[in-house]
Amino acid sequence: MQVDKEIRERICVDRFLNWYNTQYNRKYIHEKATHRFPDLKNGDWDFVAYERGNPLDWIGIEVKELSTTREVSQWSEFWDRLCLDLTQDLASKGIQAKFAIIHPPVLDLEPRERVKFRRAFVEVLTNKQSTLKGGFVDIGPDIADKFPNWPKEKSEPFNEYDKWGTYRPCKLEIKKISDSGCEVISPISPIRLRDAVELHEKTFDEADIKHANKQLKLAKEKGARKTILLFACYPFVEEGLIKGQVQNLDRHVIPDIDSIYLVAMGSNDIVVPICPD
């Protein structure tokens, strides 16, 4: 079940203030900016933070979610859990081997469909394990034969069109890496497989820092003593790349943002100062 945007933003601010209060021995709490200023429209900055007993001395906080990293995180978490289940399934069949998979598609399966996929995977792997030696083998078409909801992707224009037509079953490349034990290893994160710099540039563009500056400029006009931009990020974010992108910006592009932080949205509460005041 996906958490909606407003809840994710509150989680981000909670985590940031927990860290901030500890670092600076403060007791900031927060509320929606629209609660403090009912005249604000949707789309203005997100939160007002202040210490109890001194609500007039406040900080404006805007949250921008790095949505690409959230999608990657959900993709990775799904396959991490699925690989644990597939390991148990194979072990119950007495299979002794260790397998690695790469490039799996994004799957969003209901529990019943998930069970069907696991059955198809185990059946295919049981039949093909003796041939899985050497390099990676694509078992996507074999899965599709037994699992109708296996997704499709565009065929490569030259060497696949005659066989599959416009679309072919999504690839699921697998390799046997050991003949002992029983394990299916989670796939490598696509952030490590793709061009990491290009993906992080896309992620950064999605965050729209220039728009955040406009929002926090309004916060200053309303009386904010300080303005903070939080990037809500997820596992597999390379903080150095995001930091470099922020620091490469001319300060005149974001003159109304005093500080920028990355806030981890995984299981650990991690805050990384990117552009402290």
Domains of the chain by start residue, with CATH: 5-68+196-275 (3.40.1350), 97-180 (no CATH)
The predicted structure's pLDDT at residue 235: 58
Nearest-angstrom CA–CA distance, 32 and 42? 11
- Residue written as token pair 């600076």: 24
The predicted structure's pLDDT at residue 166: 82
Nearest-angstrom CA–CA distance, 145 and 93? 21
Q: Is 32 exposed, middle or buried (0-12, 13-18, 19+ CB in 10 A)?
A: middle
Structure tokens at 201: 């540039």
| Top-confidence residue, 38 or 275 | 38
Task: Tell which residue, 103, 86, 102, 90, has the closest CA to residue 129.
Answer: 90
The predicted structure's pLDDT at residue 23: 93
Nearest-angstrom CA–CA distance, 28 and 160? 59
Nearest-angstrom CA–CA distance, 105 and 107? 6
The predicted structure's pLDDT at residue 104: 80
Task: Average the pLDDT over 139-157 and give the result.
Answer: 88
Give tens-digit pLDDT for 102-115. Answer: 878 777 788 899 89
Mean pLDDT computed over every residue of the chain: 81
153 secondary structure, DSSP code: E
Residue 29's pLDDT band, with cuts at 50, 70 and 90, is very high
The predicted structure's pLDDT at residue 203: 57
Q: Are 250 and 234 a contacting pair, CB within 8 Å?
A: no
Give tens-digit pLDDT for 214-242. Answer: 999 999 999 999 999 998 877 555 566 66
Give tens-digit pLDDT for 65-120. Answer: 876 555 555 666 778 788 888 899 888 988 888 888 887 877 778 889 989 999 99
Nearest-angstrom CA–CA distance, 57 and 276? 19
Q: Are 254 and 213 a contacting pair, CB within 8 Å?
A: yes
Backbone angles phi, psi at 274, to 5 degrees: -100, -45
Residue 192's pLDDT band, with cuts at 50, 70 and 90, is very low
Percent of the chain whose predicted confidence (pLDDT) is above 90: 33
| Top-confidence residue, 143 or 268 | 143
DSSP-based three-state secondary structure for 31 = strand
Is the pLDDT at 170 greater than 50, yes or no?
yes
Structure tokens at 219: 């916060």
| β-strand partners of 95 | none
